[in-house]
Amino acid sequence: MRIRSLASVMLLGALVAAECAQAQAPAASPDAQAARAAAHKACQSDMQTLCADKRGREAMQCLRSNSDKLSSDCKDALSKLPRRPPAPSQG
C-alpha cells in the first residue's frame, strides 16, 4: 500500500514537471508583433551586413551590440521594440 502511494506521488510529480516544461510564454501583443515586423523589415540589410550568421536572440544581441553601425531606420525600429526582462540568474 505504501509503495503504491509513493508511486502515485512520483507519477503526479512527473506529470506536473512535464506540464511546466511544456508551458509557453504568453503570445505577444498586437503592438509588439507589429513593432517586431517593422524592425525585421527596417533592419534586414543591417542583419545581412553585420549579423548574417546569427538567428533569434543572438541576432538581436548582435544588432544591439553594433548600434553605432546601424542604419537610422533600423535604430528607430529597434528603439520601439519592447525590451524583455533579463533572465533570472541561476544561483
Residue 38: which residues within 8 A CB-CB, separation 6 or more?
77, 80
Classify residue 52 by its DSSP letter: T
**15 in a domain, yes or no?**
no
Asked, for residue 13, whether it belongs to a domain, the answer is: no
How many CB atoms within 10 Å of residue 15? 10
In a domain, 65, yes or no: yes
pLDDT given at position 28: 76
* 49 found inside a domain: yes
If one counts every other C-beta atom within 10 angstroms of the C-beta of residue 62, the result is 17
The predicted pLDDT at position 29 comes to 86
Q: Does the pLDDT of residue 13 top 50, yes or no? A: no
The pLDDT value recorded for residue 9 is 43
Judged against a pLDDT cut of 80, whether residue 17 lies above it is answered with no
pLDDT of residue 11: 46
- Do residues 77 and 39 lie in contact, with contact meaning Cβ atoms separated by under 8 Å? yes
Q: How many folded domains does the chain comprise?
A: 1
Q: Is 46 exposed, middle or buried (0-12, 13-18, 19+ CB in 10 A)?
A: buried
**pLDDT tens-digit series, residues 30-75:** 888 999 899 999 999 999 999 999 998 899 899 999 999 999 999 9
